[in-house]
Every structure is written in C-alpha cells, then in structure tokens.
Structure 1
Amino acid sequence: MTDIRLIATDMDGTLLNSKSELDASFFTLFSQLRAQGVLFAAASGRQYYNLAKYFDAIKDDMFFVAENGSYVMHREQELYVQSLELSIARQMVEIARNIPNTYTILCGKKKAYVESNVPKFWDQVTRHFEQYELVEDLTTIEDDQCLKISLCDFDGSANNSYSYFKPFENDLQVKVSGGKWLDISHKLANKGQALKVLQERYGITPEQTMAFGDYLNDLEMMQQAHHSYAMENAHPAIKKAARFQAKSNDEKGVFEVLEKVAAR
C-alpha cells in the first residue's frame, strides 16, 4: 500500500451502510489521504447530483464516477461522457414497458426522467436521484443526453428483466447492478473505463490504484485496479474478480482498509 495514488469506491453496499448512510469518520480519513496526495473517486450507478450531495463539504476535492462510469466529473467539469444514442434509449424504453412489475428511468445528464409515480417506485427515485422529472412519455425526451437506462424491477432484475436485454450484451452494457436494478448503457460506459480515464489523465498506474465494490457493475473497476477489494457482502463474481476482501459495508470494511492506507 506504500504507493497508492488513486482510490475508487462504490457507494451502495460498499462505502454506505445498509441504511444508505455515510459514516462521519470518512471525512477525517479523506483529509488524511488527500494530505498524502491520494485522489479519491466515488464510483456509483447513482446520479452525479446525488453523489455530490453526500460529499458536499469536500466535493471540489473529489472525483465523481457517476451513472456506472458514463459520466465523470471534477470541480463541476466534465472529464468523460459516454452517452447512449437517444434512438437506442427509446428502443430500450419500449422493451422495458412490457416487463411486469418494472419501472423505467431515463438517466439524463441534466436530470432523470420517469413516467410513473407509483409510490413504491417513486420512493426509489427520490432516494437515488436529486434532479428528476415526471413526464408523460420517455420516448419524447430530446433536449438531454442519455447516460443510461435504469430499470427498477420489483420482481428481481437477475431473474426477471435481465432476460429481456441479454440479447443486447454484444452491443451494449447490460448490468445487473443490484437486487432490483438493471442498467443499460453504451458499450464503453463502465466504471473500469472511467477509472482508466482518470489513470491516464493523472499518470497513475493500475498498480497504484485501489478499488472497492460489491456488485456486477463493479466488475470492470475490479479489473482496472491492482488493489481490488470485494466486500464480504459482495456478489460471488466480484469476490472471484477481486484480489482482496474487505469486511461488509455494515462492518465499515472500506474504512478499515483506508485507515491502513492513511497510516502509511
């Protein structure tokens, strides 16, 4: 750990506890790491504006890998954007409309767009997004870029909605990113590619990079960092891909490792 220069961590199931809370001790650790010149990135399927809210006091000193890597921001500047063509996004929306107990979010750069306010779905929208709008028809969105299509599948994304989009995996990123979440984005949009953008921009190698994750949308990020950590609560595929394992998110596994880095 003596030469770590970049740390990236997933949020849900990883840095945040099961109540989606960020432990206040993170900010002390962040200050110690920053004093050592370590760059820190929050890498999540969440919206940029939602991520920035968690780190409001230090957001100008952080990097944000949002929307599963399709959008990278630092100090309100775009470092990387890999959007999905609107024509393809509309095709995905049309397919999603036929999936039982599943609701669609078009994740734009400006805001997220939904066409349902069913209470159980609306609760998920307001929890994961800061900028959002209820519209009549997602296929009519034209004045925004689509960063990804997210499906909130209350029957379980792995066993329900994934089968509808599996045929598109050769051309698009189709990721089961949580128990009820399925994300569809550009083929080049993933957290690993976003991490590579940061590495090349700041002259950092994978051997100088540390990453933490728990679910399938973290797979490429695990592969782009030599110091890759799967959470104890991680998906088996992430545990297999990672070189190391951290305690669960509710046991502050990320914090335990960061303390070791800060104590170098």
Structure 2
Amino acid sequence: MVFPRLIALDMDGTLLDGESKIPESFWPVLKRAEELGVTIAPASGRQLATLQHQFGPELSFIAENGTAIAHKGEIIHVSVLPDDAVLRILDALQAVTVDHDVVLCTPTVGYVSEDANPDTFVQLEKYYYSRETVKDLRAMVKDSDIIKVAIYCSAGSEEHIAPVVFKAVPDHNVAVSGKEWLDVMPAGANKGAALHYMADTLGIDIAETAAFGDYLNDYELLQEAGTAVAMDNAHPQLKDVADVIAPSNLDHGVITVLNEWFNKMESTQRVHANQREF
C-alpha cells in the first residue's frame, strides 16, 4: 500500500471505545503521526466545536458529516442547505408519530427545541458541545447557515425517520448515521468529498489518504480514500468497499492498524537513511 499522509478517523464505533471515549493509547499514536509528517483528521457527524473540545483546536477536522472542514483552528469550508430544504424536512417530520427531535446545525452551534425530549438532551451532551435551545426552530432557518439537519429517534432512525426524509428531500444527501440518528446534508456534501477537499488544500494526492469507518455515513469516505479501512464491527456495506478490516473499536483497532503502518514507515525511513549514507 501507499503510505498515507492524511488519515481520516470516524469517531463513534471507530476510534472511540465502548464508553464513547478516546482511548488513552491514541495520544502517543497521534504524536507519532506528527513526527512522521502524517495529518490525522477526525471525521465525524459530530459538531466541530465538540471535536475541537475533545482533541484541541489545532488538528484538522471533518465535522458534521463533511459539511464543516477546519484546519489548525480555522474553518476553511462549509456546505449550506437551502432554506427550502430545511423547511421541507420540518414539514415532513410532522407526520412522524414516534418520538423524535431535530437539531439544526450551523458551523458553530446546534439549535434544538426547548420542548425536546429529556433523552435527547442526554445525547446532545455527547455530540453538541455548542448548543442553544429555541422556542421555534423554523424561526432559525432564515437567518442561519444550516449545514446539516440531524434527527434523533430512539425507536430507530432507519425505520421511522429515513423513509419520510428521503421522500421530502430526494435532492439532498440523507445518511443514516447511527441506529438512532439520521443526518441531512447538502447535495454533494459528505465525508468523502470533504476528505478530497482537505487533501487538495494540503497538497496531498488522494492516493496518499486513508480512512477508517464503521457506519453508512462513512461509505463515501471509504470510497474516496486511497486506503479504506472498515472496523470489524462495521456495517456490511462498508466491509464490501474496504481494503483492510481492522479489529473492532472495542479492541482499539484504529490504534493497532496505525501503529502497524507507522512501524513500517519508520522502518522504511531508516532503510532510506542507511542507503544515503552509502
């Protein structure tokens, strides 16, 4: 394989452990990447502010399923949903009878109704570090750059939410991003497109990229990457397009594979250094 210079890491079900935490053994791996000149970019459906809170602001980030891209503390690209698409989603969801809540995501804050289910607020603490409650979500549409609409449904997003939303906005990117979450992004916006944008910005050939993922919102990411890595716990469709199957997130598969790659990179560098001496 081509050694990657840019590596995108999904979070939930991929890098994070069973308690949704970053394993402590990841930080030495991140340091090794920096020493080798490899850029690590968390690539998540999570909010940019959340990722920056978890990792610090200086990394590169693909946030909100690719609709917000940041590099060294600066937002370098966003993709915005048209107002009419957001309103179509809100209109269509009125017909859904099972409990669900909506988050309107901007590059810097997530808006949620003050009447949202208490269980939803528990979930939001994990995914939306920067959030505001509002009386009327519709009132936020006109004056905000909505880059993603996220819908939380504890009864199951794929069964109860996806059919309605797919029908409402067939012209945009609808992704089942977890058992309880469904995300809507602008047409053409996804983690894979964001990886390509970041690679171009950093002057890295797409063949020199790699990506790790586990769920359907990682599909385009793995398709686009030079080396596609699906976790052992990944959705079957991701395994079908993967070049490598890593151990599960519970077994810290990302860290295992990265250490293997970095060992080979360091070994290759030593060989080249010895050859130059002669």
- State the TM-score, normalizing by the size of structure 1: 0.95
The answer to whether 1:111 aligns with 2:109 is yes
Deviation digits for residues 95-153 of structure 1 (CA, Å, limit 9, x no counterpart): 22332211111111231111133211111112211111111111100332101100101
Larger Rg: 1 or 2? Answer: 2
Q: Which amino acid aligns with 1:111?
A: V
Partner of 1:187: 187
Partner of 1:244: 244
Partner of 1:84: 81
Q: Which amino acid aligns with 1:96?
A: L
Deviation digits for residues 7-66 of structure 1 (CA, Å, limit 9, x no counterpart): 00100000001211101121111111111111110000000000111112xx31x11100
Partner of 1:39: 39
TM superposition shift of 1:170? 4.1
Once residues 213 and 240 of structure 1 are traced to their aligned partners in structure 2, the CA distance between those partners, rounded to angstroms, is 12
Q: Which amino acid aligns with 1:94?
A: D
Q: Report 1:1-264 matches (<5 A).
A: 1=1, 3-56=3-56, 59-60=57-58, 62-99=59-96, 100-115=98-113, 116-141=115-140, 142-168=142-168, 170-263=170-263, 264=265
Q: Which amino acid aligns with 1:87?
A: D
Q: Is the 8 A contact 1:5 1:38 kept in 2?
A: yes
TM superposition shift of 1:202? 2.0
TM superposition shift of 1:168? 4.8
Once residues 156 and 238 of structure 1 are traced to their aligned partners in structure 2, the CA distance between those partners, rounded to angstroms, is 20
Once residues 240 and 132 of structure 1 are traced to their aligned partners in structure 2, the CA distance between those partners, rounded to angstroms, is 36
Q: Is the 8 A contact 2:3 2:261 kept in 1?
A: no
| Matched length | 261
Partner of 2:275: none
Once residues 192 and 168 of structure 1 are traced to their aligned partners in structure 2, the CA distance between those partners, rounded to angstroms, is 24
Q: Is the 8 A contact 1:110 1:144 kept in 2?
A: no
TM superposition shift of 1:2? 5.5
Q: Is the 8 A contact 2:89 2:168 kept in 1?
A: no
Q: Is the 8 A contact 2:229 2:246 kept in 1?
A: yes
Q: Secondary structure at the match of 2:37?
A: coil
Once residues 202 and 131 of structure 2 are traced to their aligned partners in structure 1, the CA distance between those partners, rounded to angstroms, is 33
Once residues 8 and 118 of structure 1 are traced to their aligned partners in structure 2, the CA distance between those partners, rounded to angstroms, is 33
Q: Which amino acid aligns with 1:219?
A: Y
Once residues 256 and 76 of structure 1 are traced to their aligned partners in structure 2, the CA distance between those partners, rounded to angstroms, is 28
Once residues 250 and 125 of structure 2 are traced to their aligned partners in structure 1, the CA distance between those partners, rounded to angstroms, is 23
TM superposition shift of 1:167? 2.4
- State the TM-score, normalizing by the size of structure 2: 0.90
Once residues 151 and 128 of structure 2 are traced to their aligned partners in structure 1, the CA distance between those partners, rounded to angstroms, is 14
Q: Which amino acid aligns with 2:54?
A: Y
Between structures 1 and 2, the one with greater strand share = 1
TM superposition shift of 1:79? 1.6
| Aligned CA-pair RMSD | 1.4
Once residues 262 and 192 of structure 1 are traced to their aligned partners in structure 2, the CA distance between those partners, rounded to angstroms, is 23
Q: Which amino acid aligns with 1:73?
A: A
Q: Is the 8 A contact 2:7 2:38 kept in 1?
A: yes
Q: Is the 8 A contact 1:168 1:174 kept in 2?
A: no
* Structure 1 stretches lacking a partner, 5+ long: none
Q: Secondary structure at the match of 1:21?
A: coil
TM superposition shift of 1:169? 6.0
**Which stretch shows the higher mean deviation, 21-30 or 162-171?**
162-171
Q: Is the 8 A contact 2:7 2:210 kept in 1?
A: yes
Q: Is the 8 A contact 1:109 1:144 kept in 2?
A: no
